[in-house]
Chains A and B, each alone.
Chain A
Amino acid sequence: DTGVSQDPRHKITKRGQNVTFRCDPISEHNRLYWYRQTLGQGPEFLTYFQNEAQLEKSRLLSDRFSAERPKGSFSTLEIQRTEQGDSAMYLCAGGQGTDTQYFGPGTRLTVL
């Protein structure tokens, strides 16, 4: 158990709806990352927070995606106007110091 939790674990939504995912790292994790993983592929980097500051965003993160980390603790990832291509596993990872990233169990999104 890495101590990183994600909620919900599964989400089924209809195309065009908005969805929001939450990630809770452990308190020592000053760095927080979001990744997206589709079937049979490795995770792809989406965005990175150092404390509450969002320092890097991938080009994969279109304007329908927004992420926040208020107060440098938990983080949320919102997808607006979902599309079927957004169906994937969304993974959150926390880290500090030694650069090891500790992943949560992920949120599996299905867009119908």
Chain B
Amino acid sequence: KQEVTQIPAALSVPEGENLVLNCSFTDSAIYNLQWFRQDPGKGLTSLLLIQSSQREQTSGRLNASLDKSSGRSTLYIAASQPGDSATYLCAVGGSARQLTFGSGTQLTVLP
């Protein structure tokens, strides 16, 4: 059974800092990995999707990497802003593309 772990569970940083969120998974037989953002009481917003054959994806200030063999992914956020405050969820896609999620990292960016 696939298990996804995200560390740290919570992170507080001053505005402007660069930061890294970590995600690890137990079964390397994945089809893809997706990073989401969730604001309190809201649905999920897709940030980046990495296919299993890819090593990284970039969108604006966000960069996600994937190392399938070691079961790890990182989400790098450059020049953090207060508007980046949210919970960030990592999810790995299975054979039917159903997603297995981690518990998330709650990020607070202090002005």
Contact = CB atoms under 8 A, between A and B. Distances in A.
A88 to B, nearest CB: 13
Interface of B: 4, 31-32, 34, 36, 41-46, 49, 51, 89, 91, 93, 96-104
Contacts of A43: 44, 89, 91, 99, 101
B97 A45 contact: no
A48 interface: yes
A41 B51 CA distance: 24
B99 A91 contact: no
Contact of B99 (A55, A56, A101, A106): A101
A91 B104 CA distance: 16
Contacts, number: 63
Contacts of A106: 42-43
8 contacts: A42-B91, A43-B44, A45-B98, A56-B96, A91-B44, A93-B44, A102-B46, A103-B36
Contacts of B4: 42
Given A101-B97, A103-B45, A106-B42, 19 more contacts: A2-B43, A4-B43, A31-B97, A33-B99, A35-B99, A42-B4, A42-B102, A44-B101, A55-B96, A56-B96, A91-B44, A99-B31, A99-B49, A100-B34, A103-B43, A103-B44, A105-B43, A106-B43, A108-B41
